[in-house]
Structure 1
Amino acid sequence: MSTSKARLQFLDALRGIAVFLVIFSHIMHERSQLAQLIDANYFQIGQAGVSLFFLISGYIIPKSLNASPSLKVFWLHRFFRLYPAYWVCLITVLLFASAGLYHFQETLSPFGMAVNFTMMQGFVGIKNAINVFWSLKFEMAFYFLMTALSVTGMLKRPFLIFVGYSLLTAGLALGMKFGMHKFFAYGVFNLELMLLGWVLAEWHMKRLAGKYAAAGVALGLLTTAIAAYAAFAGRTEELAVGTLSLVPMASAWGASIVFFVAALLTTEYVRWPRWLAWMGTVSYSAYLLHPIVIGVSQNLIPVGPLLVSTQFGLSFVLAWLGYRYIETPSIAYGKKVGNRFMPAARQAARV
């Protein structure tokens, strides 16, 4: 297997693990006392999956931006990668809701639903139509940050950027905890994970010395501990899919970093199962669609093994259909549109 192919399979396998953790958490939290016990006391399963997604994004997005001939092409590719499947998800949930087969967790006005179609609802205080959309806000924020760094010529300083952001995150966390006596706004930490993924990608592709990667991991874990303490010490908030408290969240964040580093260190020696890489390939559609599968199926199927197996199985069947008939054509079309701008971009680059 070629190095590039092995790397692609490695990333897809990690995505597969991440999406499985998220879906497992959402399905089993209300069905299994063991899952509830683990989430509440030891390890926030779904958060670990999302954190792994953030690390993967940090690995991939700067590389994609550097490989794009222009920012316009980069954003065109991102648009056609993300929005068509996202819109289909929203239209699907609206159809099921209008038929009385799906019930929104949050009440949304028509305006709020319209804003959800922009994927910018998290930036303007509008509730998410589907709970998993919360993470897309941070993905978009990372794209904006990478764009700003590209414009200012700072994309060649990943370690410096990471150290600066880590210090700001730790300072804000400690300031909110001890100065303002408030819980740290832990969403800020999600960009920390992405920036660490960027640093580790540069090391993994041999563009950054190992001592910087090791220092980055050490700083990342220290920031993790500070952020978790400032956000969750003395706090216990029950969610529909987990618990926001110190040990479960800190262990989920820390474990995702350690696991990601271990996976990077063993890419040349580990052959990831094809089925796991396949799950990663369809992970975006699986991530978007599985809440609809869960919401609709629990209104049609009695609680029991059949419901759980249906939710797992149908989530990935629909994910494959979404990937095959929505994601793949839209990605191809995005590349076709982007190609129209490449000649001009390359001429400008030569000048």
Structure 2
Amino acid sequence: MTLRAEPSHKSPDPAPSLPQRLPALTMMRFVAAALVFVFHVTMAQFFVDPAPQQTMLSLATQAGWTGVGFFFVLSGFVLTWSHRSSHTAGRFWRRRFFKIYPSHLLTAAFAFVLLVWVAGVGVDSGSALLNLLLVQSWSPLIEVRASLNGVAWSLSVEMLFYVMFPLLIRPIMAIRPERLWAWATGVVVVIFLVPVASSLLPREPTFPLGNMPVYDFWFVYQFPPVRLLDFAFGMILARIVMTGRRLPLDLGGSVALAVAAYALAPFFPSAYTLTAVMVVPLGLVIAAGAASAPSHEPTGLVSRTAIKLGEISFAFYLLHQMVLTYGRQWIGADHPMSTPAAFGVIALLLAVTLAVSWAQFTFVEAPIMRRFAARRTRPTAPS
């Protein structure tokens, strides 16, 4: 199956025929965040019965890597899609700062309070400072990357994306349309070579999850310059759709390919399952979702709910691990349970995570973006 988007004009800006909003991708964001939620549920050992626990492990271990990989490719895609030649680097960085940092600072404060006052765990000031500055993923030390709100390591990676985007967008926009697929293929080849490079790093100690060296896990999965490849791949895919290049699969075919790659991932060496196996299927899902985007806003309760879930997905991602950890303690369920009780507690914690995520988006993230993300201009006095 093939799919062709409407061709764009020769201008570096998207053609008027291409929709500026991509509701399909907004809805996909929550699916990716939910995959990470399921991954952390699996790691939390809710089930006393080893059978469902083992089933969850076999089904959901890949979910965490897949969800994060989706976000990294999606970042490059949507930022390129929404870019206009009139946008300045300062305007871009301002919007990204107010989109990311206030929510990060708030959840880091929550994490500090919970660690010190609830868990009674000391916080290393140096690691905490690196976390607050969003540079923790540059360190190979697990305790640094996992400090405060551990999931914020991915924001440290995103910060490099945002710093580099104004520098990358011009050469990527200058690639001739007929050469875009060649460039995309080249980036994917480099992604598959990253585990080869990581094999030169120390082999000890071993990371329990995935049975690979700790340095392999960090370099392949969390080192910002390496994950910049995912971001660049997303940028090139955006140009492929914007310029009307042919996609090998439509949305249905791309989703089927992603499901097949997910199922086959455990048969690959561990270092390849972190990024390489899923990067092309996830990129095709994003590209096909954008190419098939309707020109009108979604209607109906299901579509509006899906859009809202996509909007709160960033807050959901930042908050979910703390809710899973401390919410479980507060309701006295911090021990393995029977299968029905475990699923009941998981459903309750999911509902709580959705509620607090909605609150953070509604009362923190959205108001800050409205107030500070765009420079206010004074009205011109009438002559």
Tell me if TM exceeds 0.5. Answer: yes
Shift of 1:31: 2.6
Match of residue 327 from structure 1: 365
Partner residue, 1:93: 111
Cα distance change, pair 41–283 in 1 and its aligned pair in 2 (3 A):
closer
- What residue is the counterpart of 1:17 in the other structure? 31
Q: Secondary structure at the match of 2:22?
A: helix
Question: CA contact under 8 A between 1:68 and 1:74: conserved in structure 2?
Answer: no
Counterpart for residue 109 of structure 1: 124
Specify the alignment match of 1:310 in structure 2: 348
Match of 1:122 in 2: 137
User: 1:164/1:103 Cα in 2 relative to 1: closer, same or farther (>3 Å)?
Assistant: farther
Aligned residues of 1:285 and 1:323 also touching (Cα < 8 A): yes
> How far apart are residue 167 of structure 1 and its match?
4.2
Structure 2 unmatched ranges of 5 or more: 1-16, 204-212, 334-340
Matched with 1:210 is: 246
> Aligned to 2:76, what secondary structure does the other structure show?
helix
- 1:285, CA displacement in angstroms? 0.6
Flag the 1:68–1:37 CA change in 2: closer, same or farther, 3 A: farther
- Label 1:27 to 1:124 Cα distance change in 2 as closer, same or farther (>3 A): closer
Aligned with residue 328 of structure 2, among 279, 282, 298: 298
Q: How far has the Cα of 1:70 moved from its partner?
A: 1.0
Deviates further, 175-184 or 302-311: 175-184
Q: Is 1:285 the equivalent of 2:315? A: yes
Aligned counterpart, 1:165:
187
Q: One-letter code of the match for 2:78?
A: I
Superposed CA deviations along residues 179-236 of structure 1, whole A, max 9, x for unmatched, are 999858323663333223222222333x25227999xx9xxx9xx99xx89xx62x5x
Q: Secondary structure of 1:199's partner? A: helix
The answer to which of 111-120 and 168-177 deviates more is: 168-177
Residue 12 of structure 1 deviates from its aligned partner by 1.2
Please give the alpha-carbon distance, in whole angstroms, between the structure 2 residues aligned to 1:333 and 1:170.
Answer: 42
C-alpha RMSD of the superposition: 4.1
Where does residue 201 of structure 1 map in the other structure? 238
Q: Which has the larger displacement, 51-60 or 156-165?
A: 156-165
Secondary structure of the 1:31 match is coil
Aligned match of 2:282: 256
- Partner of 1:145 in structure 2? 164
Q: Which amino acid aligns with 1:131?
A: G
Q: Match of 2:14?
A: none
- Which amino acid in the other structure matches residue 210 of structure 1? R
Q: CA 1:254–1:43 in 2, change beyond 3 Å: closer, same or farther? A: farther
1:146–1:155 Cα contact (<8 Å) kept = no
The Cα offsets for residues 297-334 of structure 1, whole Å up to 9 and x where unpaired, read as 12112333442122101111111110011101111122
Which stretch shows the higher mean deviation, 153-162 or 85-94?
153-162
Cα separation, partners in 2 of 1:55 and 1:88, compared to 1, 3 Å: same
Q: 5+ residue gaps in structure 1?
A: 236-244, 344-351
Is 2:305 aligned against 1:267? no
SS at match of 1:299: helix
Given that residues 203 and 213 in structure 1 are in contact (C-alpha distance below 8 angstroms), is that contact kept between their aligned partners in structure 2?
A: no
Q: What residue number does 1:276 align with?
A: 306
Tell me how far apart the structure 2 counterparts of residues 267 and 154 of structure 1 sit (CA, whole Å). 23
Given candidates 155, 165, 186, the residue that maps to 2:220 is: 186
Which one is further off, 164-173 or 271-280?
Answer: 164-173
Please report how far the alpha carbon of residue 34 of structure 1 lies from its aligned counterpart in structure 2 after TM superposition.
Answer: 4.1
2:6 maps to which residue?
none
Query: Does residue 1:59 correspond to 2:77, yes or no?
Result: yes
Distance 2:82 2:291 in 1: 22
Q: How does 1:22-101 map to 2 (within 5 A)?
A: 22-29=36-43, 30-31=45-46, 33-34=51-52, 36-37=54-55, 39-40=57-58, 44-66=62-84, 69-100=87-118
Distance 2:316 2:91 in 1: 26
Distance in 1, Cα, partners of 2:114 & 2:57: 30
Quote the Cα distance in structure 2 between the aligned partners of 1:189 and 1:213. Answer: 27
Relative to 1, partners in 2 of residues 1:49 and 1:103: Cα closer, same or farther, differing over 3 Å? farther
User: 2 CA distance for matches of 1:80 and 1:172?
Assistant: 32
TM normalised by structure 2 equals: 0.68
Deviation at 1:8, TM superposition (A): 2.8
d(CA) in 2 for partners of 1:21, 1:84:
24
Partner Cα separation in structure 2 for residue 250 and residue 149 of structure 1: 22
| Pair 213,108 (structure 1): closer, same or farther in 2 beyond 3 Å | farther
Q: Give the AA of the match of 1:51.
A: G
In the alignment, structure 1 residue 4 sits paired with structure 2 residue 19: yes
The 3-state SS of whatever aligns with 1:267 is coil
CA deviation map 1:87-134 (0-9, x unaligned): 01011112222321x477xx7411221221111222255333222122
CA change 1:22–1:142 in 2 (3 A) is same
Kept in 2: contact 1:103–1:295 (CA 8 A): no
Say which structure is richer in helix.
1
